[in-house]
Chain A
Amino acid sequence: MVRLSDLPEHERAHLLSKELPPLGPPAWTPQAKPLAEMRIALITTAGLHVRDDTGFGFTDSSFRPIPNEANADGLITSHSSANFDRSGLAEDVNLVFPIDRFRELESAGSIGSLASIHYSFMGAGLLPQAYEASAGQVAGLLKKDRVDAVFLTPV
């Protein structure tokens, strides 16, 4: 798969069926400091969690915390979807949750620091509005952690 236009018709139709109007008036937070001073959190919708955490349900808008010091190789996924490749994730969790890459950016001084907690959702089977409440919860947690910006990865 390279472009959406290259996908089989039923797959293309499914993904395009998710074409939804904007969620509301544009939201925009201006940059207040350079990247090298920012505290960054990672959020993935790959349904990742630490091994002992409760897995995600069939449809589930809740989130799981992933401590910054967690061993990336210990993360697993309970994402419901059967429609994405898991072989790459089996090889390297950074493919969907680039925690090692961001640790390298932190060590190099390219970013200020990493959040103490990162977060994971399972993006499947629900309309975007279903995530509003849990996203609001995470926003509060991120502010307490003095996070300036979030790097989001889908699956």
Chain B
Amino acid sequence: MSALGYFLERADIMTTGISLVRENAASLQPPRSLWVSFPLGRPLGVPNDPAFQHRVIESALDLLNRTDGPVLADYPEDAPGVPLDNSPACPVSFRTDHTTWQGRLNAELASLEPWYQIGRQRRDGRTLVGVSTSSIRDIISGLAADLDAARLPADLPAFKAAIEDAKAFYVEALTAQPGEYDHRQTYLTLWYTTELGAALRVFYEQFEADPKLSAFAQIVLPRDALDDKQTTETPP
């Protein structure tokens, strides 16, 4: 983000924007940048809160009035947290007795499908699922087939799209009920409770063990989900 600001400004186009990692903006020195203390993935702070988002935007646009730079300003407001007691409960019980990945992942998918549909309805049809050309059932079945055969996916671009859709499907199902969610709790549920989280951990280990594919492993599992056991540290 900082680099784009620099290159555009060098081409005589004014820029202003948001930085989520203050240290990076301080070192790269984009022309105008507003550092916010929000989690990665939430540069405007709070979803579905136009007033909060407008306050952030206004602060960043104000930087266009500065007469010299580079300027790195700190936004003073933190995003409000969601008390766990007020967050809707996880709608599904995970883990089954199936002995194969095909059995476990498909059983899990079947339990999540109604919640995904409820979530999509609540969001007026909006969904992030759709990067892959395959259906979610084919995606899950394909991942399971590779795991049961203990083989790496043959088509890495298709695998990348498949796991992006799978993660989006799970997040949307886990947050289907109305209410405000603590995103950290959703993260912990996905990566430490679901069979999909366990499956992606296996893929990660397989990619990581192959010197030619170890870089690809980084997109499979979050950095702080590398520990085998659930952490109470703050995830992204």
Contact = CB atoms under 8 A, between A and B. Distances in A.
A15 B14 contact: no
A83 B30 CA distance: 23
Contact of A22 (B27, B216, B226): B27
A16 B28 CA distance: 12
Contacts, number: 283
A91 B47 contact: yes
A125 B1 CA distance: 13
Contact of A131 (B7, B10, B223, B225): B7
Which of A38, A80, A148, A151 gathers most chain B CB within 10 Å?
Answer: A151
B92 interface: no
Contacts of A83: 40, 222-224, 236
Contacts of A1: 39-40, 234-236
Contacts of A43: 4, 8, 17
A91 to B, nearest CB: 4
Interface size class of B (residues with CB under 8 A): 35 or more
Interface string A52-68: 00010110000000000
A134 to B, nearest CB: 9
B157 interface: yes
Nearest to B6: A23
Given A2-B37, A83-B40, A85-B39, A104 B31 contact: no
Interface string A12-43: 00111011111110111111000100100001
A34 to B, nearest CB: 9
Given A10-B224, A58-B156, A86 B1 contact: no
Interface string B1-43: 1111111111111111111111110011111000001011111
Interface string B209-230: 0000001101111111110000
B42 A150 contact: no
Contacts of A29: 9, 12-15, 31
Contacts of B234: 1, 6-8
A101 B50 contact: yes
Interface stretch (B93-101, B139-147, B165-173): B165-173
Interface string B39-58: 11111111110100110010
Interface residues of A, number: 84
Contacts of B125: 73
Which of A84, A90, A125 gathers most chain B CB within 10 Å?
Answer: A90
Given A31-B65, A91-B48, A82 B37 contact: no
B128 interface: yes
A31 B64 contact: yes
Nearest to B48: A92
29 contacts: A1-B235, A4-B23, A6-B234, A10-B223, A15-B21, A19-B23, A20-B24, A26-B70, A31-B64, A43-B17, A78-B164, A82-B219, A84-B236, A86-B128, A88-B41, A90-B126, A90-B128, A90-B172, A90-B175, A91-B48, A95-B53, A101-B53, A131-B3, A135-B3, A143-B12, A149-B16, A151-B17, A153-B18, A154-B43
Interface of B: 1-24, 27-31, 37, 39-48, 50, 53-54, 57, 60-61, 64-65, 67-70, 78, 123-131, 156-157, 160-161, 164, 167-168, 171-172, 174-175, 181, 183, 186-187, 215-216, 218-226, 231, 233-236
Given A43-B4, A86-B41, A98-B44, 6 more contacts: A22-B27, A27-B9, A89-B128, A94-B44, A95-B53, A142-B8
